[in-house]
Amino acid sequence: MDKWNMTKVLFDESQNYLASGVSSNLRLAMKPFPIYIREAHGAKLFDVDGNEYIDYIMAYGPQILGHSHPNIVNAICSQVKQAQTYGAQHVGEIELAKRIKKYVPCVDLVSYASTGSEAVQVALRLSRAFTGRQKFVRFEGHYHGWMDNIFTAFGNSNKEGSTNKGSIIPGTKGQNLKALEDTILLPWNNVEALEKTLVEHQDEIAAVITEPIMCNSGCILPLPGYMEKLRELTSKYGIVLIFDEVITGFRLGLGGAQEYTGITPDLVTMGKALAGGLPLSAVGGKKEIMELISRSEVYHMGTMNGNPLCTASAIASIDYLSDEKNNAYTQMNKLVDILVTEINNLSEQYNLPLLINRAGPVFHTMFTDETEITHFSQFQQRDSKAFERLAEIFLEEGLAVRPSGLWYLSTAHTEQDIYASLEIIDKSFQRFKNS
Ligand code: PLP
């Protein structure tokens, strides 16, 4: 593997120091090796061996302005000279909250954390305290972080749904199985399963948490009327509706999936694209729920919460995205239009059964004979191994794409990047076809 000599040496070395050699198990999915990056600018990654890649992984979502955007770099640099963290209040927290409140429909008040997983836990805690109930509904194929009460195996697919009598498969060994006892796992985009469960368990259910677009499994959109029904039923039974917008927040638009679907939940969790590459997440929502934190009835702590470097980066990112002259979302959507159309043309040309599901500047490519994928159970039938092989070829040819098939665009991608990518895709399809 001449192309990755240095990467290979470093990956071997890291096995002696880092458990698994990577810092998040998911990164092991990259084949033939998890590459070692030297630096990244705009839409490009540069590895330690001198290879260059057009990047569609975008750090799994956060890099909405691309890598090392000057506005982000300047904001962080000027903040870092003042202080790195205070453990005290600062103006950046307010300035960021003002922006979130302005753009995200459900938000009256916010509370910050560092990761999406944490924000989800705060939202669940708030929901329990607000309703006095314990259970919550989540959906197959959605991901809400790695904590014990919500991490379930992705293979979980059960047409009837599961109210957990030992039937929910935990996501990992070592998980506290008791923590899953309050989880009700349902198929998504299935009104009957939802309605039946909410009617039967209405007095026990504190919250329904959903990715408003199923970005973690096939970028599946809600079927017409599904979100409306979800909103209607949760309101009817006094259940808190949580949109987990860790991916969709500030990615689908300034108002995230709430703007995209027109549905306003009670609480929202955000991370990733919120802070342009720094570790910051937020839970936000209606005043009457968030005030539980204001009154210290619900505790939310964290040494790093509202870290000034992170808020500075988030403010710079949102200010860039909201500046009309940058045309950020229109531009990203225009480029995805070209990319998706041309990938479809190429897959037709090479007779590859590649299907694309898309929501704004994020899309999922998968090998399937289905003509549309609207449910997780169908998504599970895709040929995931074939796409992993293709992603490996992409990487060899200079395109960084997640082996799962989820692609992110940034404002730094240019038309030139898109056409250069299409040349690589063409060549890769050819190699894939002949392999
Ligand atoms: N929620 C969703 C929808 C996610 O996609 C993720 C991560 O991918 C999380 C929560 C967890 O976020 P984090 O990895 O920052 O803990």
Q: Which of 44, 135, 272, 286 is catalytic?
A: 272
Active site residue 143: yes
Which atom of ligand 1 lies nearest, measured to the CA of 118? 16
* Cβ-Cβ contacts under 8 Å for 41 (sequence gap 6 or more): 66, 67, 68
Active site residue 237: no
Q: Are 411 and 254 in contact (CB under 8 A)?
A: no
Active site residue 323: no
Which atom of ligand 1 lies nearest, measured to the CA of 279? 15
Instruction: Tell me the β-bridge partners of 152.
Output: 170
Q: Are 315 and 280 in contact (CB under 8 A)?
A: no
- Sign of the alpha-carbon torsion through 312, 318, 324, 326: positive
Distance of CA 77 from the midpoint of ligand 1 (Å): 27
Q: Which of 53, 143, 260, 320 is catalytic?
A: 143
Instruction: Tell me which of 23, 151, 246 to substitute to probe ligand 1's pocket, judged by most ligand atoms within 8 Å of the beta carbon.
Output: 246
Which atom of ligand 1 lies nearest, measured to the CA of 116? 12
Q: What DSSP string describes 146-176?
A: S-TTT-B-TT---TT-B--SS-SPBSSTT--
Q: Looking at residue 2, what is its pLDDT? A: 87
Distance of CA 345 from the midpoint of ligand 1 (Å): 32
Distances from the Cα of 123 to the Cα of 90, 242, 289, 331, 393, angstroms: 24, 7, 9, 33, 40
Distance of CA 244 from the midpoint of ligand 1 (Å): 8
Give the global pTM. 0.97
Q: Provide the 10 A C-beta neighbour count for residue 54.
A: 21
Q: Looking at residue 167, what is its pLDDT? A: 73
Find where tokens 């039937």 sit: 167
- State which H helix or E strand residue 417 sits in: helix 415-434
Q: Is 57 in the pocket of ligand 1 (CB under 6 A)?
A: no
Q: Is 55 in the pocket of ligand 1 (CB under 6 A)?
A: no
Instruction: Tell me which of 217, 272, 304, 404 to substitute to probe ligand 1's pocket, judged by most ligand atoms within 8 Å of the beta carbon.
Output: 272
Q: Is 245 in the pocket of ligand 1 (CB under 6 A)?
A: no
Q: Which of 47, 244, 266, 417 is catalytic?
A: 244
Q: Looking at residue 258, what is its pLDDT? A: 98
Residue with CA nearest ligand 1 atom 1:
144
Q: Provide the 10 A C-beta neighbour count for residue 139.
A: 24
Which of these, 174, 60, 72, 170, lies nearest to 115 by C-alpha position? 60
pLDDT string in tens for the chain (435-residue length): 689 999 999 999 999 999 999 999 989 999 998 999 999 999 999 999 999 999 999 999 999 999 999 999 999 999 999 999 999 999 999 999 999 999 999 999 999 999 999 999 999 999 999 999 999 999 999 999 999 999 999 875 554 555 555 578 999 999 998 999 999 999 999 999 999 999 999 999 999 999 999 999 999 999 999 999 999 999 999 999 999 999 999 999 999 999 999 999 999 999 999 999 999 999 999 999 999 999 999 999 999 999 999 999 999 999 999 999 999 999 999 999 999 999 999 999 999 999 999 999 999 999 999 999 999 999 999 999 999 999 999 999 999 999 999 999 999 999 999 999 999 999 999 999 999
Q: What DSSP string describes 85-121?
A: --SS--HHHHHHHHHHHHHSTT-SEEEEESSHHHHHH
Q: Is 278 in the pocket of ligand 1 (CB under 6 A)?
A: no
Q: Is 144 in the pocket of ligand 1 (CB under 6 A)?
A: yes
Q: Is 359 in the pocket of ligand 1 (CB under 6 A)?
A: no
Which atom of ligand 1 lies nearest, measured to the CA of 60? 8
Which atom of ligand 1 lies nearest, measured to the CA of 145? 11
